[in-house]
Structure 1
Amino acid sequence: MRPERAVAITHSDTDVLGSLPDLFSDLGVQLEVIPVSAGLPDPDSLGLAVVMGSPESAYDHRLPWLANELTWLQSVQARGVPTLGICFGSQLLARALGGQVYRNAVPEIGWTPLETPDGWAHKGPWLNFHFDAFTPPPGSTLLGLTDLAPQAYRKGRAMGVQFHPEIDAEMFDTWTAYWHGTEEGKRFLASAGDLPERMRAEIQAREPENQANCKALLRDFLNNI
């Protein structure tokens, strides 16, 4: 039975959810946002969980909240709660299900179509922006990949996607604000040239197609839980 309510876990108080609230609402699911800093909800109270992205690494145990969120996510999975992980969220979900996360040999940035060895319908292209990658959890189905990294997997009622199906211009603006406001981000901008401006323009240009693709992906996810 499709849940009527979902909880989205964000990793910064300034994070936004892109197109997800509107698209989930169109599909009959109301999305509540809970920053990890506000405390994680009781797993027994959840109908559906969405774990969002972060510029942090899903293996960086210097983060004060990471170990607690991983333990919480393992508890969520033990209870069979339908879960969608996006980018960082897909990596942490992979860890919770027994997979691993590692620094990839090269970053993957840009719009990429997927290879879909299991016949998954959602080939994109999707926006990737990541430096780390996951190994699909043991017993999972690899749904999509590129030459650089696994991109999507499903295990039971959980699905992780390395890319950002929810991206829109407002969400990208929070990324650029982070880059301008942190030392790590400033280092990236120093070598990025006009990449941020080009990425934002392309996100705007692709928004109608990308939202349609994202809605189809979400509908498929909901129909398989």
Structure 2
Amino acid sequence: MRVLFVKQDHASPGGLVGDAFAGLGYDVSEFTVVPRERYHSPAVTVEFPDPAGYDAIVAFGAVWAVYDDAAIGTWVHDEIAFTRAALGLGVPVLGICFGGQLLAAAAGGAVTRAPAPEIGWNVIETAGTGLIDPGPWFQWHSDRFTVPADVPVLARTALANQAFVCGRALGLQFHPEVTDEVLQCWLDGGGSAGLAAAGVDADALLAQTRRLQGAAAGRARELVRRFVRDVAAAPVGAVPVA
């Protein structure tokens, strides 16, 4: 089984999600959208691979906004088209944060600025379907997605939708992949300044992540297992949970 990890940039380790797919026997391939040398000028030209060549696709997060064409150029529309093609082919897709927002856009939804950022480990309200646990899950985002009325929202907070299912795809607003190493990678990539601007203590957040990541690893493994069992294996065109 082949899974493609679509990394929007060089600073997006697979973390707990990567470990979970490897533990289920998947052969992991990676595709980086914005190379390291273009991280600060990300309006690059990208040719996405054929989604039909994979048994699943995981789209990871990014520091950019889905709707910020002025900053990132046209590749975001190409990635939405790539994701829409995967949906049409019945290739299972797991979208994480920016990736979840891309998935929402591909499914006919929208992405907008949230009333306030959500940063840190938060418990979310779930629909009780058994697919998404309440957490706590790690969040770091300033945008949010909406989905069409016929697409089930499985989890939310007061500020944003947190999970939805569309056929063989699962979109998440939170980050199930996060460990202290993943978070440190984000901080080293410029995230420390963003946390400071938001009034968040980076050292305290790292320390909290180290305390919580053991239990988070179990939740991440179970989330990926449920994605493979309940979402990826659903009949093409079906909504597996309501």
Task: Normalising by structure 1, report the TM-score.
Answer: 0.90
Say yes or no: does 1:80 pair with 2:90.
Answer: yes
| Deviation sequence 1:53-80 (CA, Å, 0-9, x none) | 0010011122132121111111111111
Kindly indicate whether the alpha-carbon contact (under 8 Å) linking 1:48 and 1:81 is maintained by their aligned counterparts in 2.
yes
Q: Which residue pairs with 1:146 in the alignment?
A: 157
Match of 1:209, as an amino acid?
A
Q: Which residue pairs with 1:47 in the alignment?
A: 55
Match of 2:223, as an amino acid?
L
Q: Which residue pairs with 1:173 in the alignment?
A: 184
SS in 2 for 1:123: coil
Q: Which residue pairs with 1:135 in the alignment?
A: 146
| Alignment counterpart, residue 197 of structure 2, candidates 191, 195, 218 | 191
Q: Which residue pairs with 1:208 in the alignment?
A: 214
Shift of 1:192: 4.5
Kindly indicate whether the alpha-carbon contact (under 8 Å) linking 2:18 and 2:177 is maintained by their aligned counterparts in 1.
no
Shift of 1:191: 3.0
In the aligned structure 1, how far is the partner of 2:144 from the partner of 2:90?
24
Distance 1:48 1:199, change over 3 A: same
| Deviation sequence 1:77-102 (CA, Å, 0-9, x none) | 11111000000000010000001000
In the aligned structure 2, how far is the partner of 1:151 from the partner of 1:11?
20
Kindly indicate whether the alpha-carbon contact (under 8 Å) linking 1:136 and 1:150 is maintained by their aligned counterparts in 2.
no
Contiguous gaps of at least 5 residues in structure 1 = none
Match of 1:208, as an amino acid?
G
Q: How many residues align?
A: 217
Distance 1:150 1:59, change over 3 A: same
Kindly indicate whether the alpha-carbon contact (under 8 Å) linking 2:12 and 2:60 is maintained by their aligned counterparts in 1.
no
Task: Normalising by structure 2, report the TM-score.
Answer: 0.84
Q: Please list, as runs of the form range in 1=range in 2, the aligned pairs for 1:75-114 lying within 5 A after superposition.
A: 75-114=85-124
Q: Which residue pairs with 1:126 in the alignment?
A: 137
SS in 1 for 2:69: coil
Match of 1:210, as an amino acid?
A
In the aligned structure 1, how far is the partner of 2:199 from the partner of 2:152?
38
Q: Identity over the aligned pairs, expressed in percent?
A: 34
Shift of 1:117: 2.4
Contiguous gaps of at least 5 residues in structure 2 = 35-45, 233-242
Distance 1:178 1:220, change over 3 A: same
Distance 1:193 1:131, change over 3 A: closer
SS in 2 for 1:108: strand
- Quote the RMSD (CA, aligned, Å): 1.7
In the aligned structure 1, how far is the partner of 2:200 from the partner of 2:54?
42
